[in-house]
Amino acid sequence: MTDTAERLESSDAAERNPDAGPGRELADSGDRLLLIGSILTGTFLGSIIGGPMMIQGIRKIRRAAATGYRIRPWPVTIIGLYILIDTANNAFGWALDAFAHDTELVQTLFSGIGRLVDAGYYIHYNNTDLGGTSASGEKAIQLACVLFVFPMRLAATWGFLKMKRWGYHYLIVTSWLYALVWVYYAINLTITFDNRIGASQWGMVGYWIIDIPFFGAFFTLPYLYVLNSKAWCCR
Amino acid sequence: MGDVWSESWRIAVALLAVGGATLLWIYLLPRLSVPSHEEIRPGDTHELAVPIDARFNRLERVMTGLSIFCSFMIFLFASIVIYVIARWGMGYSV
């Protein structure tokens, strides 16, 4: 009974001033958990911790909504999380190959991936001065994405989730950049097909396994264009 | 122990490269953004709570699903076209 009264009271307070009170604190705390959890989920091993953190974050946001606090629509949260995980996965994967290619952990991870789906990460691995994959075209797109495109996309997605105008705009920009990255990547991969996909264990199946995740850009672009952009009005 | 240290700092550099670049973009993007005149509304000072209704009606849901499906088909078709052209262009049999 006391709980119900307290809830009603807080709900009334939230209705009078929905931007203040426990709802906002819960939503902000939930958002922080979602951000950290989704980025951890994109770091391979970190997903063991990241998954539960994301669930806890979603619970907190649901509790914030129950207090009467106006939360952003759930589809926006889900799409934002998908983009965060997808981008973090690509960004950290390539960052590890670019900067941590001498470690046992990374060599184990990439020699496994290389043997199964992309021999560019297996044959002559760590044989150049830059280290990591020996495919020169792959190294170029890798550094461009790790230092430029993916961090920009992570920042834009965070802004998008916080309903910032710049977040929405730059998420569209980086989605087009992501599509461009895919075109470059697919051409580069197939031009040296025999040395990479052809020399791996899964062959053409491997091509589709590493190609399909790039659908992210083609999935988010139509969705972003049908949204009401004026809803992203925070500065 | 030395190996653990050697593994850790290299992985930390990789994580810091992405993290640092992301923080830089979080600083830069709001400053690089040029809002159009009609989007500026008075009183938009709060961070999260904006009264929006992003629920789609039935037609909008169908159209959104259809456009995502078409986009997927374009993606698949382009994947095959790129594969065929790249292989053919390098003189291999497709």
- Residue to test with chain A: of B22, B24, B90, most A Cβ within 10 A: B22
Mean pLDDT of A133-147: 91
Residue A72: left if φ>0, alpha if ψ -120 to 50, beta else—which one?
Answer: beta
Of the candidates A156, A159, A194, the beta carbon closest to that of B92 is on A194
pLDDT, residue B56, reads 66
**How far is Cα B85 from Cα B91, in angstroms, rounded to an integer?**
10
Judge: A215–B86 Cβ closer than 8 Å, yes or no: no
Mean pLDDT of B5-30: 90
Structure-model confidence comparison of residues A22 and A62, the more confident one: A62
Mean pLDDT of A184-200: 89
Judge: A96–B63 Cβ closer than 8 Å, yes or no: no
Contact between A192 and A137 under an 8 Å Cβ cutoff? The reply is yes
Judge: B50–A92 Cβ closer than 8 Å, yes or no: no
Q: What pTM value is reported for the model? A: 0.83
* Residues in CB range of B20: below 8 A, 6 or more apart: none
- Is the confidence at residue A116, as pLDDT, over 90? yes
Structure-model confidence comparison of residues B66 and B90, the more confident one: B66
pLDDT, residue B54, reads 54
DSSP characters for chain B?
-HHHHHHHHHHHHHHHHHHHHHHHHHHHHHHH----GGG--TT---SS---------HHHHHHHHHHHHHHHHHHHHHHHHHHHHHHHHTT---
pLDDT, residue B49, reads 40
Of the candidates B18, B32, B39, the beta carbon closest to that of A233 is on B39
Structure-model confidence comparison of residues A232 and A122, the more confident one: A122
**Range from A145-149, A213-217, B11-15, B40-44 that averages highest in pLDDT:** A145-149
pLDDT, residue A52, reads 94
pLDDT, residue A193, reads 86
Residue A189, min C-alpha distance to chain B (Å): 9
- Is the confidence at residue A17, as pLDDT, over 70? no
- Is the confidence at residue A235, as pLDDT, over 70? no
Contact between A151 and B21 under an 8 Å Cβ cutoff? The reply is yes
**How far is Cα B83 from Cα A199, in angstroms, rounded to an integer?**
16
Q: Which of A162, A196, A166 is closest to A80 using CA atoms? A: A162
Judge: A106–B11 Cβ closer than 8 Å, yes or no: yes
Judge: A96–B14 Cβ closer than 8 Å, yes or no: yes
DSSP lists the bridge partners of residue A164 as A234
pLDDT, residue A59, reads 94
Residue B93, min C-alpha distance to chain A (Å): 11
Mean pLDDT of B59-72: 84
Judge: B86–A191 Cβ closer than 8 Å, yes or no: yes
Q: What is the pLDDT confidence band of residue B94, given thresholds at 50, 70 and 90?
A: low
Q: Residue A72 gets which letter from DSSP? A: P
Residue B5, min C-alpha distance to chain A (Å): 10
* Residues in CB range of A113: below 8 A, 6 or more apart: A121
pLDDT, residue A14, reads 45
Q: How many CA atoms lie within 13 A of A37 on its CB side?
A: 18
**Residues of chain B neighbouring A96 (CB-CB closer than 8 A):** 11, 14
pLDDT in tens, A39-67: 899 887 888 999 999 999 999 999 998 88
- Is the confidence at residue A6, as pLDDT, over 50? no
Residue B94, min C-alpha distance to chain A (Å): 11
